Amino acid sequence: MKISAAELARILAGHVEGDEKVEVDRPARIEDATSGSLSFFANPKYEEFVYTSKASVILVSSDFVPSRPVSSTLVRVNDVYAAMATLAELFGAETELSPGISTNAVIDESSRIADDVTISDFVVVGPNCQIGAGVILHPFVYIAANCVIGTETVIHPGVKIHRSTRIGERVSIHANSVIGSDGFGYVKTEGRYRKMKQLGHVLIENDVEIGANVVIDRASLGATIIREGSKLDNLIQIAHNVDIGKHTAIAAQAGIAGSSKVGNDVLIGGQVGIVGHINIADGTQIQAQSGVTTNTKEQTRLYGSPALPYTQYLKSYTIFRKLPELSMEIDVLRKKLRELEKQLEHLQANS
């Protein structure tokens, strides 16, 4: 697909500085872009590349003021990142699969499949499922019995969706994620662990995105829930009966133990661990590699393991890393104190 700078400006409600007729056919990073490519500049630390880039077109903020001549055509927009998101959809549309149901797919005759779906090679759809309009199932997707997949949802290669899972509209689940696997539930009797049957399911609401290699366990009873608009990065573990609130974002390698409730608009950094049966309040922000062991208050920022209020942790860390120096200073003070005590004893003895 080729598109001119003028057409880009029209789509993005921006304006062109330079050659309106120049065409681009691919996006590229600004530092290694070549002729015919489209790049963008939003982070000030990359400004030097604006003047040296070979990109045909560069998206820049409407208030960007170059300090040197720029050879590329500029398209000025109000929000560079939002503009790139729009263009990513535009360029990415060419790579989508063709609509239709592959003859290599296996679909149980009891399942209801909308007319305008894309079901690729080696997809398996079990009994009594409902697949909505506009759904795209990439190769090797497995959907077990009694599942519902909402309209315009995209499920990428190798995803496994276990029984009775409910997935909303416009959901995206990336490669090799597992939705609805057994929760980690056991009872120890007579010195041995006995597995408890997990009878619940997983509910994923509308506009959720789930990264690659994410595991979301089905509930022991009831539902494990990912609510509307939440975004999960790769390699995340969500245990049984967890409830993730609306528009919450969780970075890679985080883990949330069973029956914990995470509120709306929460930000969870990479490698965060959250223990079971606690409440993470709305608006909480948890820094990477933190461990949360207690309930939080709304709009709290946490850091550390166990996690402390963010500013309290930074103050504590400032003291902690100086402990060796403080220890030496304390030793010096202790010696001086002993000397003073000896001098005082000597004066008292001679008085």
Range name among 272-276, 300-304, 333-337 with the lowest pLDDT average: 333-337
- pLDDT digit string (tens) for 104-115? 999 999 999 999
The domain segmentation of the chain, as residue ranges, is 3-95, 100-310, 321-351
Q: Which of 267, 225, 263, 222 is nearest to 245 (CA)?
A: 263
Q: The domain at 3-95 falls in which architecture?
A: 3-Layer(aba) Sandwich (3.40)
Mean pLDDT of all residues in 179-201:
94
Res. 203: pLDDT tops 60: yes
Q: What is the pLDDT of residue 93?
A: 67
Please state, in angstroms and rounded to a whole number, the distance separating the CA atoms of residues 4 and 12: 12
Active-site residue identified among 138, 201, 240, 346: 240
Q: What is the pLDDT of residue 95?
A: 56
What is the distance of C-alpha 73 from the center of its chain? 33
Please state, in angstroms and rounded to a whole number, the distance separating the CA atoms of residues 304 and 317: 9
Question: Across all residues in the chain, what is the average pLDDT?
Answer: 94
Please state, in angstroms and rounded to a whole number, the distance separating the CA atoms of residues 17 and 9: 10
Q: Decide if 15 is catalytic.
A: no
The CATH superfamily holding the domain 100-310 is Hexapeptide repeat proteins (2.160.10.10)
List, in order, residues 6 or more apart from 84 with CB less than 8 Å away.
27, 40, 59
Q: What is the pLDDT of residue 88?
A: 86
Helix, strand or coil for residue 10? helix
- pLDDT digit string (tens) for 252-282? 999 999 999 999 999 999 999 999 999 999 9
Q: Residues of 44-77 as b/e, b for ≥16 C-beta within 10 angstroms?
A: eeeeebbeebbbbbbbbbeebeeeeebebbbbbb
Percent of the chain with pLDDT over 90: 81
